[in-house]
């Protein structure tokens, strides 16, 4: 079914298609980390919760998250009600159409951004309007670059958060980890690893670890565990992972859980490592490790409690691994393959249930 708006006809994304697995985005999974951070800040206006939201938004930008943006056009009454949030207009097809704005008593205008279909449909004012699915980054940039828009509001009808243009500007220009100890050596190590020069990677990771980088210590542990660029030494690798994990390094916690599972350890012990990683990742989600946490929890816990929830977790993991694979990150293809296999397994279980 196509819809007519001002002489232009649109066919919503997904029209006539049946999805077999949820996709990461507002129509599928929503954006759990952003939604949780917004809810915490909404309940308690504190500096800690403000920075949690900034961290969650940074992660959402890394994950190329999309949001639903209502357009300033009414539904054609002759067509009847249309599921605009469930079947949004593609971003490229909505080019040039003005968005619907929220107006405050102080004559300020904000662009509403919805992280999920449920939130978009929470109030008739947006539920009856056509929606476009836009990238979070592009929606924020649009608000920054458009005269007469003073910022964005995330999920205005539920737990909401308002970001003015100064916050948006800082958020879009910020970079992760640039002030961390050994940051330059760590990035050089990652670059060498992506190029397959493992000896150089080991040398760089060693220098970064000596400068105090827990992430580098974890990466060096990986090299020792798998014998990349150095002689294999699993005992030393475990010591490095444990030290890095004590410093809060999420990837080290995941590595310890993987090692426990591979070594035939107790399921409870393995799951404990992954839960610790989940707790640490919740505070500062990052595409470097949060998709791994999502996958491991889906594999070792969630699928036994709720296949639906496990599919949502794996959809987020798949999104992250695909981005990392496109960027040439080490082992991203293996992680992606594992996530896709789990998706197939969960879908088969649903079909046979």
Residue 111 to residue 139: CA distance in whole angstroms: 8
Same domain? For 31 and 158 the reply is yes
Same domain? For 112 and 48 the reply is yes
* Domain range enclosing 348: 285-353
- Tens digit of pLDDT for each residue in 9-47? 444 444 444 457 999 999 999 999 999 999 999 999 999
Same domain? For 247 and 304 the reply is no
Tokens 């909505």 belong to 94
Same domain? For 238 and 258 the reply is yes
Q: Give the pLDDT of residue 96.
A: 85
For residue 165, tell me if it sits in a domain.
Answer: yes
Residue in 162, 5, 166, 163 with CA at minimum distance from that of residue 70: 5
Same domain? For 159 and 46 the reply is yes
Confidence of residue 3 (pLDDT cuts 50, 70, 90): very low
Residue in 307, 299, 296, 303 with CA at minimum distance from that of residue 351: 307
Q: Give the pLDDT of residue 34.
A: 95
Same domain? For 193 and 239 the reply is yes
Same domain? For 304 and 324 the reply is yes
**Contact at 8 Å (CB) between 137 and 63?**
no
Domain edge (last residue) among 109, 139, 172: 172
**Please, what is the average pLDDT of the chain?**
90
- Tens digit of pLDDT for each residue in 249-289? 999 999 999 999 999 989 999 999 999 999 999 989 999 99
192 versus 14: the higher-pLDDT residue is: 192
Same domain? For 205 and 337 the reply is no
| pTM score | 0.89
Counted residue by residue, the chain has a size of: 353
For residue 12, tell me if it sits in a domain.
Answer: no
Q: Give the pLDDT of residue 87.
A: 86
Q: Is the pLDDT of residue 330 over 80?
A: yes
Q: What DSSP string runs through 313-341?
A: HHHHHHHHHHHHHHTT-TTHHHHHHHHHH
In the chain, the number of structural domains is 3
Q: Give the pLDDT of residue 306.
A: 95
Q: Give the pLDDT of residue 133.
A: 95
Q: Is the pLDDT of residue 84 over 60?
A: yes
């Amino acid at each position: 079914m196509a819809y007519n708006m001002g002489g232009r006809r649109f066919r919503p994304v997904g029209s006539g298609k049946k999805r077999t697995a949820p996709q990461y985005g507002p129509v599928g999974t929503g954006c759990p980390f952003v939604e949780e951070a917004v809810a915490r800040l909404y309940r308690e206006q504190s500096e800690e919760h403000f920075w949690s939201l900034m961290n969650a938004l940074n992660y959402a930008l890394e994950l190329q998250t999309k949001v639903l943006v209502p357009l300033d056009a009414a539904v054609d009454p002759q067509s009847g009600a249309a599921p605009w949030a469930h079947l949004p207009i593609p971003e490229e097809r909505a080019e040039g159409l003005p968005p619907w704005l929220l107006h405050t008593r102080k004559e300020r205008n904000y662009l509403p951004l919805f992280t999920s279909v449920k939130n978009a449909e929470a109030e008739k004012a947006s539920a009856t309007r056509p929606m476009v699915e836009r990238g979070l980054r592009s929606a924020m940039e649009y608000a920054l670059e458009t005269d007469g828009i003073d910022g964005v509001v995330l999920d205005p009808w539920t737990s909401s958060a308002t970001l003015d243009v100064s916050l948006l500007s800082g958020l879009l220009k910020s970079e992760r980890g640039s002030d961390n100890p050994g940051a330059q050596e760590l990035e050089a190590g990652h670059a060498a690893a992506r190029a397959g020069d493992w000896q150089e990677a080991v040398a760089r990771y060693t220098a970064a670890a000596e400068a105090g980088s827990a992430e580098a210590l974890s990466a060096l542990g990986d090299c020792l565990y798998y014998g990349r660029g150095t002689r294999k030494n699993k005992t030393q690798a475990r010591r490095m992972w444990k030290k890095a994990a004590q410093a809060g390094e999420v990837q080290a916690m995941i590595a310890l859980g993987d090692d426990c599972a591979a070594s035939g350890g107790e399921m409870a012990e393995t799951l404990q490592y992954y839960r610790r990683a989940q707790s640490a990742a919740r505070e500062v989600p990052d595409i470097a490790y949060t998709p791994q946490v999502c996958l491991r929890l889906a594999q070792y816990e969630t699928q036994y409690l709720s296949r639906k929830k496990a599919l949502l977790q794996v959809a987020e993991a798949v999104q992250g691994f695909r981005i990392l694979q496109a960027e040439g990150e080490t082992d991203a293809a293996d992680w992606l393959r594992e996530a896709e296999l789990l998706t197939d397994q969960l879908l088969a279980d649903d079909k046979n249930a």
